[in-house]
């Protein structure tokens, strides 16, 4: 099975830029780019920060655009989103008052989680949401794939960890109790390529479709930004493996299909030039 992850698309009023980049244009570029090689994906998930300011017009435009898109798409919300405004446009994404839900694929049951805390960039996973997740994991044999916005593990970047999932230990306790049936956790929020594990479950994240962060460990007060290329993710889910790529569609340099001129021809088995 193949699935696509987009994150942190940060839609804004048409023509408005963030860091000199146009979020709507870059979102469209991502969709065009991924369809060239990945039109056969079974599912696409966008893991939050759908709108930069939580404006209803952004959600209305997104719903219309995704309605034309050939790959089935599910949504999480992030700290820049407004849950009430989002649900006024996407009421089908509501479950128990939160933006959470279930989507079955050929490889696993996908659980879409809501980690938003209103009026905060940090995430929360309250008792009601913990109960929902526990119930989903208890009532189905799995396997599962989890999708969320906030990072469920520390990044050890001080400013970033101030706005992480603040209930991360409680979240990992639930995950750990079901680790044998949760195959992977996909998240966003950090605008960084990240991999690791949460209570023994592999995790990954990626840069978003617009602006990028940078892991500047010497900076202790402010989040760090960079001009690295925009990206989306492609995951391949096999019976006994998960492979995750970050595709930098914003890169505009050369791509050397057959290698550099120094290795114009070489035997791939013997490594002889």
Are 213 and 7 in contact by the 8 Å Cβ rule? The answer is no
Neighbours of 64 (CB within 10 A): 10
pLDDT at 86: 98
At 270, is the pLDDT very low, low, confident or very high (cuts 50, 70, 90)?
confident
Q: Which CATH number fits domain 2-263: 3.40.50.920, 1.10.10.10, 3.60.21.10, 3.20.20.80?
A: 3.60.21.10
Asked whether the predicted pLDDT for residue 217 surpasses 80, the reply is yes
Asked whether the predicted pLDDT for residue 240 surpasses 70, the reply is yes
pLDDT at 256: 79
Give the dihedral of Cα atoms 251, 190, 205, 210; nearest 10 deg.
-30
From CA 154, how far away is CA 224, in angstroms rounded?
Answer: 16
pLDDT at 50: 98
Mean pLDDT of the chain: 96
Q: What percent of the chain has pLDDT over 70?
A: 96
pLDDT greater at residue 269 or residue 170:
170
From CA 30, how far away is CA 257, in angstroms rounded?
Answer: 21
What is the per-residue pLDDT across 4-37, written as a single tens digit (0 to 9) for each?
A: 999 999 999 999 999 999 999 999 999 999 999 9
Asked whether the predicted pLDDT for residue 100 surpasses 90, the reply is yes
Sequence-separated contacts (24+) of 219-226 with Cβ below 8 Å: 219/157, 219/158, 219/159, 220/158, 220/159, 221/158, 221/159, 222/159, 223/159, 223/160, 224/157, 224/159, 225/19
At 152, is the pLDDT very low, low, confident or very high (cuts 50, 70, 90)?
very high
């Amino acid at each position: 099975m193949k699935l696509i992850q987009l994150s942190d698309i940060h839609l804004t009023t048409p023509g408005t830029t963030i860091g000199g980049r146009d979020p709507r244009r870059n979102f469209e570029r991502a969709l065009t780019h991924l369809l060239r090689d990945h039109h056969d994906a079974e599912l696409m998930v966008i893991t939050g920060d759908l709108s930069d300011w939580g404006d209803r017009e952004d959600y209305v435009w997104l719903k219309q655009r995704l309605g034309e898109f050939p790959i089935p798409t599910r949504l999480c919300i992030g700290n820049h989103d407004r849950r009430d405004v989002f649900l006024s446009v996407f009421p089908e994404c509501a479950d128990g008052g939160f933006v959470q839900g279930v989507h079955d694929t050929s490889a696993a049951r996908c659980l879409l989680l809501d980690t938003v805390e209103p009026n905060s960039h940090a995430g929360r996973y309250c008792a009601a949401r913990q109960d929902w997740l526990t119930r989903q994991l208890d009532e189905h044999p799995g396997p599962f794939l989890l999708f969320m916005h906030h990072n469920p593990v520390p990044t050890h970047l001080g400013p970033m960890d101030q706005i992480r999932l603040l209930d991360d230990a409680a979240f990992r306790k639930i995950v750990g109790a079901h680790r044998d049936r949760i195959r992977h956790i996909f998240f966003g929020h950090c605008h960084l390529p990240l991999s690791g594990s949460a209570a023994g479950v592999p995790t990954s994240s990626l840069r978003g479709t617009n602006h990028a962060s940078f892991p500047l460990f010497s900076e202790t007060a402010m989040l760090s930004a960079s001009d690295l290329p925009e990206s989306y993710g492609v995951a391949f889910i096999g019976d006994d493996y998960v492979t995750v790529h970050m595709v930098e569609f914003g890169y505009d340099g050369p791509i050397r299909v057959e290698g550099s001129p120094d290795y114009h021809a070489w035997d791939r088995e013997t490594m002889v030039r």
